[in-house]
């Protein structure tokens, strides 16, 4: 026997990338499919969804600045934002204007930006959107008005008596 080990040749090294007609055709098909997807209604929906996410992020940033709270609930914020945009179609468009005019404090606001700031604050603190008989209740127990007195008062989950019973004159001497 010989002291030399026999070396068997292994597989030939494969080049890192070879361009063949098959790969070129595959890349062209993938590129065409991606272009069709981006130009189709699905691509439009994706662009609209990313725009809505950006508007929601702007809404949450403005909400934090206006309320002075950094611990706002994201799901509640999304619900409030959806209710505000459903009630006022131009609300989402006005967020950028409000953000540009807000500055360091909201005291210098007037006109439409001031009205929008009030709508945002009312939505967070009262838990409802609107002030007339068509107001939308988004939350009750999570409204910020209850967080201001947290630990001292708890929001009621029921009414005492029938609706409007508070307006009746109390009977004196009832045992």
Of the pLDDT bands very low, low, confident and very high (cuts 50, 70, 90), residue 87 is confident
Mean pLDDT within 82-89: 86
Question: What is the pLDDT confidence band of residue 171, given thresholds at 50, 70 and 90?
Answer: confident
pLDDT, tens digit (0-9, with 9 covering 90-100), for 15-50 = 555 667 777 677 776 766 666 666 666 555 545 556
- DSSP state for residue 167 in the 8-state scheme: G
Residue spans of the domains in the chain: they are 26-155
Asked if 102 and 65 touch (Cβ cutoff 8 Å), the reply is yes
Kindly give, in sequence order, each residue whose CB lies less than 8 Å from that of residue 137, ignoring residues fewer than 6 positions away: 127, 128
Q: Which residues of 137-169 are buried (b: 16+ CB within 10 A; e: fewer)?
A: ebbeeebbebeeeeeeeeeeeeeeeeeeeeeee
In 10 A of CB 115, how many CB atoms?
A: 14
User: Is the CB of residue 124 less than 8 Å from the CB of residue 145?
Assistant: no
Calpha distance 58→166 (Å, rounded): 42
Structure-model confidence comparison of residues 57 and 50, the more confident one: 57
Model pLDDT for residues 105-155, shown as the tens digit of each residue: 666 666 877 788 888 888 888 888 888 788 888 888 888 888 877 777 776
Using CA atoms, how far apart are residues 8 and 39, in angstroms rounded to an integer? 55
Tell me which of 86 and 15 has the higher pLDDT.
86
């Amino acid at each position: 026997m010989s002291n030399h080990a026999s070396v068997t040749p292994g597989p030939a090294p494969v080049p890192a990338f070879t361009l063949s007609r098959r790969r070129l055709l595959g890349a062209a098909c993938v590129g065409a499919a991606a272009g069709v997807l981006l130009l189709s209604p699905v691509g439009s929906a994706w662009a609209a969804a990313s725009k809505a996410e950006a508007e929601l992020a702007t809404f949450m940033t403005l909400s934090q600045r206006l309320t002075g709270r950094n611990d706002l609930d994201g799901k509640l914020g999304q619900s409030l934002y959806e209710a505000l945009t459903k009630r006022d179609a131009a609300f989402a468009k006005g967020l950028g204007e409000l953000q540009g005019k807000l500055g360091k404090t909201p005291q210098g606001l007037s006109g439409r930006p001031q009205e929008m700031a009030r709508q945002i604050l009312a939505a967070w603190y009262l838990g409802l959107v609107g002030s007339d008989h068509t107001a939308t209740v988004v939350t009750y127990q999570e409204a910020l008005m209850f967080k201001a007195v947290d630990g001292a008062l708890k929001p009621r989950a029921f009414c005492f008596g029938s609706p409007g019973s508070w307006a009746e004159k109390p009977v004196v001497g009832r045992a």
